[in-house]
Amino acid sequence: MVLAGFGCMVLAAFFFGSLGPVERVAFAHGITPAGVSVVRAVAAAAVVGVYSLLRQPGALIPGFKDAWKYALTGLFGVVFVYYLSNIAFVTIPIGLAVILFYTNPFWTVLGAAALGKERFTRLRFAALLAGFSGVWLAVGGIEGSMEGDLNMTGIMCAVVSGVGYTFYMLNSRYGTGRTEPFKTFVQMFLWGALMMLAIALFRGEIPRFQELPTPALLSLAYLVVFPTLASYALISFALKHIPGTVASITSMSEIVFAGIMAWLFLGEVASAGQYQGGALIVFAVLLLLFERRLTSRQIDIQ
C-alpha cells in the first residue's frame, strides 16, 4: 500500500501541474481567472457539501462563534489559492508561477514563529535565505529575466497565493483545523465558493456555458474533476499509507510536471534563472522537511 500511496501523490502532483496549461485553454476562449475559479470553487463546495450532509450534517452549520474564522479560511484557502494563482497563470510563465507558489513553506515558518508556536532556528533561517535567494533568481536576479519584463501583478499574485495556502496550513495545525478538521475543510469550501461567486458576479465574469465552445467546456470539466476533486481524494488516500514528509516531498514534483507541460503544450521555455531559483527553493523546502532529522544528527555527533 506504500507504493499505492506514493503513486497517488505523484498522480495528484501531475494533475496540479496540469492546472496552468489547461486553464490557458479556458482563458483562450474568453473565460477569465475569476470565471475559472468560481466554477472550481462552486463544484468543490457542492461535492463537499453533499458528502458532509451524508457523513456529518453539523459541519454545514458554521455557528456564530467561529463563523468569521471559517470565512477567513475560505478567503485564504480558496479565493487566494484559486483566484490569485489563476491570475498568475495568465500573466507570467506557468513554471515561474508554480515555483513562486512553493514559497508557502517559508511563509508558514515565519507565521508559526510570529504566533509563538514554533522556534525560529538557525537551520530555518538558512532555509529562508536559500528560498528567497531562489525567488530572486527565478524572477530575474541581477541580469533580469530571459522572458523580458515580467508582470509584477502576476508575480505578486503567485506569491500571495502561496501565502493563502500558508494560512490554511497554520489554521490546520493551530486553529479550527486542529480541533474540527472535517468541519473546517467543509466550511472553507462553502465560504470560499460564496466569496468567489460574489467576486465573479460583481465583475460580471460568470461563464455563460451555453455560449462556450466544446474545448472550453472540456477544459472546465477537466479542472473540476482532476486538479480539484480527484487530487484532494488522492492526497487523502495517500496520507493514510505514507508519512506526511514523503507526501510533501512528492508533491513538489508538481514543479517538474508544470514546467514540462508548459513547454510541451505552450512552448514556454524556462530561463536559467528559473531553473536555478527553482532548485534553490526545492533545496530550502527539503531543509525544512528534514529539520528534525538534521538537528538530531547534529546532537548525536556532538
Q: Round to whole Å and give the CA distance between 16 and 81.
A: 12
State mean pLDDT over 224-241. 88
For residue range 65-85, list pLDDT tens digits in order: 889 999 999 999 999 999 999
Question: How many other C-beta atoms are found inside a 10 Å radius of the C-beta of residue 180?
Answer: 17
Residue 56 pLDDT: 94
State the average pLDDT over residues 249-270.
91
pLDDT digit string, tens, across residues 48-58: 999 999 999 99
Per residue in 135-178, pLDDT (tens digit) is 998 887 655 444 456 788 999 999 999 999 999 889 988 999 88
Q: Is the pLDDT of residue 20 over 70?
A: yes
Q: Given a cut of 60, is residue 63 above it in pLDDT? A: yes
Taking the C-alpha atoms of residue 12 and residue 5, their distance in angstroms, rounded to an integer, is 11
Secondary element (H or E) of residue 272: helix 272-289
In 3D, which of 220, 191, 236, 177 has the Cα closest to residue 74? 191
pLDDT of residue 292 exceeding 90: no
The residue range of the domain holding 168 is 2-301
Domain count, the chain: 1
Cell of 140: 530575474
pLDDT band per the 50, 70, 90 thresholds, residue 248: confident
Please state, in angstroms and rounded to a whole number, the distance separating the CA atoms of residues 167 and 80.
10
Q: What is the mean pLDDT of the chain?
A: 89
Report the pLDDT value the prediction gives residue 297, as an integer from 0 to 100: 53
- Look at the block and give the residue holding cell 524556462: 270
Residue 38: the pLDDT is: 97
pLDDT at 301: 44
